[in-house]
A and B are shown apart, each in its own frame.
Chain A
Amino acid sequence: MDGERLASGSSELAVGESPRGGAPIPGGSGSCSLLQADVLDLDEDEDDLEVFSKDASLMDMNSFSPMMPTSPLSMINQVKFEDEPDLKDLFITVDAPESHVTTIETFITYRIITKVNAEGPFPLPEKFIVKGMVERFNDDFIETRRKALHKFLNRIADHPTLTFNEDFKVFLTAQASELSSYKKQGPGLLSRMGQTVRAVASSMRGVRNRPDEFTEMNNFIETFSQKINLIDKISQRIYKEERDYLDEMKEYGPIHTVWSASEEDLVDTLKGIANCIEQCCKATEKRMSGLSEVLLPVVHEYVLYSEMLMGVMKRRDQIQTELDSKVEALTYKKADADLLTEEIGKLEDKVECANNALKADWERWKQNMQNDLKSAFTDTAEENIRYYEQCLATWESFLTSQTDLPLEEDSEDKI
């Protein structure tokens, strides 16, 4: 890759602290992360396409790196609960898409402007690599992606808990070199997300006082996450199979035309069939592009979203555990009672904050999820209907031309 990668132009801010521990980070520090958008394959050796990950030492109990081979917007959820809850004024804009073509791949970069209360904007063009499925970077696609990114980042920014995410800050502000080293601090964790989550979750089962509603949420998001991941895989597989089918059909149609050259009495019939097949190919192409522009991106977004949410919940549980253990410590050790009490006080605030935020978010998120997925599936269904309608029309008109018989009437109850 060439040096177009990241423009300089941001002031360098050190990543203030070691990722462990809870020391405060002054608002506005950060670094950039590379977003991966490798939809179909994961090639770990390619720098650009590595999924962002960290090593075990840096990992907290509640963080995990989803090494899904398909995660364009993946992020590590290492949520550090900071003592500065007022870092809410984080404004992010995603704009200035640029397309870069190299011999290896084609990718698009977007500029991400972050405004924080403490510092000025850091306009850093960021690279967003899209590979695989989408072969044409048409304007609609680029715009869709831009909006999606914008939406995504703002969602994080809005989220009361997630804004404190260390990696988020890293993402927004780091230089490429910083980023690579940040990335390389952790080996890729190739476990499926489900496994990681379960492993993490099981360590969290010890949370004694987790309120029921959060347990419910947790269960929901675990199952949902599993399912949406499967749906993601299935949808992509369908796309692939349809493409293969299209390729074969493209060879199939013209054979009939070739044949018509040696059959004087069957010319019309054969050419007619060749034509019908061609029309059906076009309809298939349309259907496929609907899939890739609507369903696949949405499903994928929710894959990532659910990952994030799981992280959030883990984090909440962790805070709770911290609180509980400190309370316990207080009960058993009379020493440092004052310090403990103070800490407990703070933790209690944190827990309450987190709980409220989560509760407020939850319904909203669920509603969004239902609406988004519903409309994506609806659109896909519409596309499918159009496809079959088109094919039917093509073949029926061929049939009428070949025979002079009227077609049978459709009965609604006929399957």
Chain B
Amino acid sequence: MEQTPPDPERPLQPAPLEPLGGPGAVLEAAVGEETQGTREDSSGVETMTGNNFWLKKIEISVSEAEKRTGRNAMNMQETYTAYLIETRSVGHADGQSVLTDSLWRRYSEFELLRNYLLVYYPHIVVPPLPEKRAEFVWHKLSADNMDPDFVERRRIGLENFLLRVASHPVLCRDKIFYLFLTQEGNWKETVNETGFQLKADSRLKALNATFRVKNPDKRFTELKHYSDELQSVISHLLRVRARVADRLYGVYKVHGNYGRVFSEWSAIEKEMGDGLQSAGHHMDVYASSIDDILEDEEHYADQLKEYLFYAEALRAVCRKHELMQYDLETAAQDLASKKQQCEELATGTVRTFSLKGMTTKLFGQEAPEQREARVKVLEEQIGEGEQQLKSKNLESREFVKNAWADIERFKEQKNRDLKEALISYAVMQISMCKKHFGGRSRQVSVSLKPVWSVWEFKFGPMLRSALARCNPGK
């Protein structure tokens, strides 16, 4: 099938990735050679020559989400959300983009794509999808998959996924990925025709290998530990952050109650009336400010979540290594034992236990011709085995080399992204603090009553000068 051979050496123009951008975030994936025709003719895909599918730079966006109803595999009514994927080609000359493809996909199709990539690129740390179900929710967030906020965040996550794949030096060249973006109908059949599900390693086999492998590359063992730690610490962080958000929400919203009370109180006060009104208003503003603040923070949480899921992708690569290594070890062991058998047969010494040896002892020696026949068979097998071992060895080494190259790439990406996310968290905190300072200068004129003028500047640095200006009347 179309597994494009890994080619880490290929120079690729840098694609500055903006993970989790807003709607319409774009990525320019620069691709090299031309192909024939544009996408109108989807059959043009079949006449693909090179490894690259796009004419020029492309932009991908998941621009819309829509609720749909349809019939599922069991012919039952179901509601699901479909996402509109738009691909644009960017002309060099004028920088204008032209819509080249636009189609609708649902979440399960994204999953199918990813599973396919996992099978065909086991040495690659495959970008994760946004979560299937809402987790780490705090009370205001809904855990419902149909909730518009959840759908919106998922839309952004799916776009981010596509951008990650499109900017990956290896994955971007995959044909099935190309078809995912360009061929709406029949895509599922095409993927399934690759038979990738059959090629997938069984979980059981993988588990077995993990336990019984003797000499895995130390770097992968370390990587596995790292990914466990990463997963554990980010989960913890996200859990507590959700609780913090909950509490902060409570603090702000309770302040909102002041608003109503002050306003009612102002009705009975003559001198203080205006001041109280103003104070009440500010309380309301304060209380409602938390919604935006926490929405931004949700965005931050999503960035961390991506790396939480990346931990699993890392583990998948480690598992593949363990499988291959185990396979190699088993083959080597097999070969060694065959060689030994052969030797024993040839020299007549029996050092190892074998059924043949036992029966020989019990029933007498076999004829020399028989023995020779067996030796010959064994020698053949040994020969094959040696070939196999050689190629397995090569495969394994290739795998390790390529995987490690991608892991290094991933590490750099991770460090960049996480640092950026953490800094953006600091920026968010700063803007939240500043929000509560904000110039309330226009409020000065509203109430000059000495008694309550303070409230106008409740969070303002002008408070002190205001207090000095107004008669502190005590």
Contact surface of A with B, Cβ cutoff 8 Å: 219-220, 223-224, 227, 230-231, 234, 237-238, 241-242, 244-245, 248-249, 251-252, 255-256, 258-259, 262-263, 265-266, 269-270, 273, 276, 280, 370-371, 374-375, 377-378, 381-382, 384-385, 388-389, 391-392, 395-396, 398-399, 402-403, 410-415
Contact A371 B474 (CB under 8 A): yes
Q: CA A224 – CA B266 in complex, angstroms? A: 10
The winner among A263, A265, A273, A374 for most chain B CB atoms within 10 A is A374
Instruction: Assess whether A398 is in contact with B454, with CB atoms less than 8 Å apart.
Output: no
B383 close to chain A: CB less than 8 A: no
Q: Provided the pairs A248-B243, A374-B454, A399-B430 are in contact, do residues A269 and B419 lie with their beta carbons within 8 angstroms?
A: yes
Query: If the complex has contacts A248-B240, A255-B237, A414-B439, are A276 and B429 also in contact, measured as CB distance less than 8 A?
Result: yes
- Complex contacts, B243 vs chain A, CB 8 Å: 248
On chain B, the residues within 8 Å of A245 by CB distance are 244, 247-248, 250-251
Residue B441 lies at the interface, judged by CB distance under 8 Å to chain A = yes
Among residues 409 to 445 in chain B, which have CB atoms less than 8 Å away from a CB atom of chain A?
415, 418-419, 422-423, 425-427, 429-430, 433-439, 441
**Chain A residue nearest in CB terms to B282:** A381
Q: Does B258 contact A (CB under 8 A)?
A: yes
Distance to closest chain A CB from B167 (angstroms) = 21
The answer to whether B423 touches A252 (Cβ under 8 A) is no
Q: A414–B458 contact, CB under 8 A?
A: no
Report whether A374 and B451 are in contact in the complex, using a CB–CB cutoff of 8 Å: yes
Determine whether the beta carbon of B439 is less than 8 Å from that of A412: yes
Flag if A399 contacts B423 (CB, 8 Å).
yes
B22: interface (CB < 8 Å):
no
Which residues of the partner chain B approach A227 to less than 8 Å between Cβ atoms? 261, 264-265
Q: How distant is the Cα of A260 from the Cα of B251 in the complex, in angstroms?
A: 30
Contact status A252-B425, CB under 8 Å: no
A-B contact pairs, 5 of them (CB 8 A): A231-B258, A249-B244, A370-B272, A399-B423, A403-B423
The answer to whether B250 and A381 touch across the interface, beta carbons within 8 angstroms, is no
- Indicate if B217 sits at the interface (CB-CB under 8 A): no
Q: How far is the CB of A5 from chain B (nearest CB, A)?
A: 37
Q: A388-B437, A414-B439 are in contact. List 16 more A-B contacts (CB 8 A).
A: A238-B251, A238-B255, A241-B250, A241-B251, A255-B236, A259-B237, A269-B422, A269-B423, A273-B425, A377-B452, A378-B454, A385-B459, A385-B463, A389-B437, A392-B433, A395-B429
In the complex, what distance in Å separates the CA atom of A381 from the CA atom of B233?
37
Q: How far is the CB of B429 from chain A (nearest CB, A)?
A: 5
User: Given contacts A237-B254, A255-B233, A370-B272, is CB(A375)–CB(B474) below 8 Å?
Assistant: yes
Complex Cα spacing A382 to B236, Å: 35
Question: B418 to A370, Cβ gap below 8 A?
Answer: no
**B54 proximal to A (CB < 8 A):** no
Asked if A223 contacts B254 (CB within 8 A), the reply is no
- B427: chain A residues within 8 A (beta carbon): 399
With A241-B247, A378-B467 known to touch, is A391 a contact of B241 (CB < 8 Å)?
A: no
Question: Are A384 and B422 closer than 8 Å at their CB atoms?
Answer: no
**Min distance, Cβ A406 to any Cβ of chain B, angstroms:** 13
The smallest beta-carbon distance between B377 and chain A, in angstroms, is 53
Asked if B268 is an interface residue, CB under 8 A from chain A, the answer is yes
Interface residues of B, dominant DSSP: helix
A61 to B172, CA, bound (A): 86
Contacts of A234 in B (CB 8 A): 254-255, 257-258, 261
A-B CB proximity, top 6 nearest: A245-B247, A392-B433, A412-B439, A415-B438, A241-B250, A227-B265
Contacts of B423 in A (CB 8 A): 269, 399, 402-403
A415 closest partner in B (C-beta): B438
Instruction: Tell me the smallest distance from the CB of A253 to a CB of chain B, in Å.
Output: 9
| B11 interfacial by beta-carbon distance below 8 Å | no
Contact A382 B422 (CB under 8 A): no
CA distance A399 to B434 in the complex (A): 15
A278, B144: Cα distance in complex, Å:
34
Does the CB pair B254–A241 fall under 8 Å? yes
Determine the distance from Cα of A172 to Cα of B216 in the docked complex, in whole angstroms.
84
Whether A262 lies near B229 (C-beta < 8 A) is yes
Smallest CB–CB gap between B367 and chain A, Å? 65
Decide if A224 touches B433 in the complex (CB within 8 Å): no
- B430, A273: Cβ atoms closer than 8 Å: no
What residues of chain A lie closer than 8 Å to B272, measured between beta carbons?
A: 370
Chain B hits for A378, CB < 8 A: 454, 467
Residues of A contacting B467 in the complex (Cβ-Cβ under 8 angstroms): 378
Give complex CA distance A24, B130 in Å: 82
Closest Cβ–Cβ distance, residue A367 to chain B (whole Å): 10
Residues of B156-193 whose CB lies within 8 A of A: none
Measured between beta carbons, the chain A residues less than 8 angstroms from B255 are 234, 238
A80 to B286, CA, bound (A): 47
B55 at the interface (CB under 8 A from A): no
CB neighbours (8 Å) of A392 from chain B are 430, 433-434, 437
Cβ of B310 under 8 Å from chain A: no
B residues near A388, Cβ cutoff 8 Å: 433, 436-437, 459
Interface centre among A269, A382, A396 (most CB of B within 10 A): A269
Which residues of the other chain, A, contact B251 by a CB distance below 8 angstroms? Answer: 238, 241-242, 245
Beta-carbon contact of A265 and B415 below 8 Å: yes
Residue of B243, B251, B261, B459 most packed against chain A (CB within 10 A)? B251
Which of A258, A375, A377, A382 has the most B CB atoms < 10 Å from its CB? A377
Residue B461, interface by CB 8 Å:
yes
Write the chain A residue with the least CB distance to B233. Answer: A259
Q: Any chain A CB within 8 A of the CB of B80? A: no
Residue of B nearest to A371 (CB): B474
Quick one: which of A248, A262, A370, A391 contacts B226, CB cutoff 8 A?
A262
- What are the residues of chain A within 8 A of B236 when measuring CB–CB? 255, 258
CB distance from A250 to the nearest CB of B (A): 10
Residues on the A chain within 8 Å of B426, using CB: 273, 276, 395, 398-399, 402
Q: Which residues in A have their C-beta under 8 angstroms from that of B461?
A: 385, 389
Report chain A residues within 8 Å CB of B460: 385
Is the beta-carbon distance between A391 and B268 smaller than 8 angstroms?
no
User: What's the nearest-Cβ distance from chain A to residue B78, in Å?
Assistant: 39
**Contact yes or no, A391 B433, CB < 8 A:** yes
Q: What sequence of 0s and 1s flags, for each residue 452-474 of chain B, a beta carbon within 8 Å of any chain A beta carbon?
A: 10110111110100010000011
Contacts of A270 in B (CB 8 A): 422
Q: Which residue of A lies closest to B286 (CB)?
A: A384
Cβ–Cβ contact B458 & A381, under 8 A? yes
Bound Cα distance A402, B254 (Å):
35
User: How far, in whole Å, are A251 and B295 apart by their CA atoms in the complex?
Assistant: 22
- Among B246, B279, B436, max chain A CB count under 10 A is at B436
Assess the B463–A273 pair: CB atoms within 8 A.
no
Give A320 Cβ to nearest chain B Cβ, in Å: 23
The smallest C-beta distance from A112 to any residue of chain B, in angstroms, reads: 29
- C-alpha spacing A300/B224, complex, angstroms: 58
Q: Which residues of A contact B244 (CB under 8 A)?
A: 245, 248-249, 252
Residue of A nearest to B452 (CB): A374
- Pairwise interchain contact B268-A224, C-beta atoms closer than 8 A: yes
On whether the beta carbons of A244 and B454 are closer than 8 Å, the reply is no
A266 and B417 alpha carbons, distance in the complex (Å): 11
For residue B119, which residues in chain A have a CB less than 8 angstroms away from its CB?
none
